Amino acid sequence: MEQREFLRKQMLKKTREQIEEKFAGKEIHIIKAVNLLSDLDSINNLMSENLNEWKIRNPQNEAQNQLETLQRNTIQIQEEKTKLIEFIEKEMQEEFPNFSQIATPIIGAKLLSEAGSKKRLCFMPASTIQVLGAEKALFAHLRKNAKSPKHGHLFNHPLLQNMPRFKRGKAARIIAGKLAIALKQDYFKGEDTSKKVKEELEKKIIEIRNEPETEAQKQKEKNYEQINKDRRKEEFVKENKKREHQMESRTFTPEERRAYFANQKRNKDSFTPRENYSNKSKNFGKSKNRTSDSKNDFNQNYNKIGNDKRNRSESKKFKSRGFRKKSKTSFRKRKPRTTKRY
């Protein structure tokens, strides 16, 4: 019992130390601020969209007052957002002077939030830093054999903008390598060499951008464009098939059926809705002004529908059960009941 109590106390002490270590550092404030910044972006976009739609409807009196107060709130959210960005930049420059200069403060803060803590981020290899923020694509690559991601949050880096698609992976790998070195310098309180590293990095990126395209890269780009075209074509065909299936499975009114088959350029006599003749059959022979030609046309069409229906039902029986075709006069006799009902 004494040993168990001693172990319990030691475990509690260790967890307390870990929690204090995690929440005592300044990086926790940066992580919370960056997460809140992304939430503010989404809230601001949603509010501005809804308010623009509302403004089009020309609100008056109370609605106008409510709209104005909400617009003031959106302006206030934008101001808070700018203040939050300034706070993140200031904190990042204090905690990560080298890292924030190379990665830019906002991208550096996003990478920190993905890692979870300063220690974990500083001891990460360059390959992991390169892919931070692209977890979905990475797991799709591991599970479904999809293409591996080239970059995560580093895609928004200013040096990667306007870079050709097939050169982005190489450039992102170089940037991630420099970031890994800068993080270790910041963690172990090394010298501030951010300006020198930034100049070297810019030179390397310019060299990569000016590299001539090889034949393999050109062919790869063509194949990529062809794959995209084929994918779009497949999606278009699938959508059309889905639409056709919905049209076929849907129950149409007689007027809709006529319009649908007219668009399909079918013969008018190939489809004669049953509803048209059900009303005529009730009043058949009652009107004295009906001519013999109209009677014959009606009888032909009505018999045609009945025969088609009969033949269809019989063909289904023959296909499914293999029955022998019976004549119209033949019928099956009932067997006498052998058991009592009650």
DSSP per-residue letters across 52-94: HHHHHT---THHHHHHHHHHHHHHHHHHHHHHHHHHHHHHHHH
If asked whether residues 105 and 181 sit together in one domain, one would say yes
Query: Do 266 and 310 fall within a single domain?
Result: yes
- Does one domain contain both 87 and 154? no
**Average pLDDT of the residues in 219-243:** 78
> Domain check: are 205 and 114 in the same one?
yes
Give the Cα separation of 80 and 43 in Å (integer): 12
Residue 227 lies inside a defined structural domain of this protein = no
The reply to whether 102 and 173 lie within a common domain is: yes
State the amino acid at position 61 in one-letter form.
N
The answer to whether residue 257 is domain-embedded is yes
Whether residue 200 sits in one domain with residue 156: yes
Write out the residue range of the structural domain in which residue 283 sits.
251-314
- Please tell me whether residues 74 and 123 are part of one structural domain: no
CA separation for the pair 48, 35 (Å, rounded):
20
**Residue finishing a domain among 95, 113, 145:** 95
Q: Are residues 123 and 188 in the same domain?
A: yes
Of 187, 211, 235, the one marking the end of a domain is 211
Q: Are residues 148 and 76 in the same domain?
A: no
Q: What is the pLDDT of residues 25-44, one digit of tens each?
A: 778 889 989 999 989 988 98
Pick the residue with more confidence: 20 or 110? 110
Which stretches within the chain are classed as H helix? 2-24, 27-56, 62-95, 97-103, 105-115, 118-122, 126-131, 135-144, 168-187, 194-210, 215-249, 254-263, 274-282, 292-321
The answer to whether the CB of 108 falls within 8 A of the CB of 99 is: yes
CA dihedral 195, 196, 198, 200 (to 10 degrees): 160
104 and 129 part of one domain: yes
Residue 85 has pLDDT above 60, yes or no: yes
User: Quick check: is 238 in a domain?
Assistant: no
Do 76 and 123 share a domain, yes or no? no
Domain termination site, one of 190, 211, 232: 211
The answer to whether position 229 is within a domain reads no
pLDDT for 4 equals: 86
* Residue 279 belongs to a domain: yes
Phi, psi of 107 (to 5 degrees): -65, -40
Averaged pLDDT, 61-69 = 84
Does residue 328 lie within any of the structural domains? no
On whether residue 12 sits in a domain, the answer given is no
Residue 337 lies in a domain: no
- Number of domains observed in the structure of the chain: 3
Q: What is the mean pLDDT of the chain?
A: 76
Entry pTM: 0.59
Query: Quick one: 100 and 201 in the same domain?
Result: yes
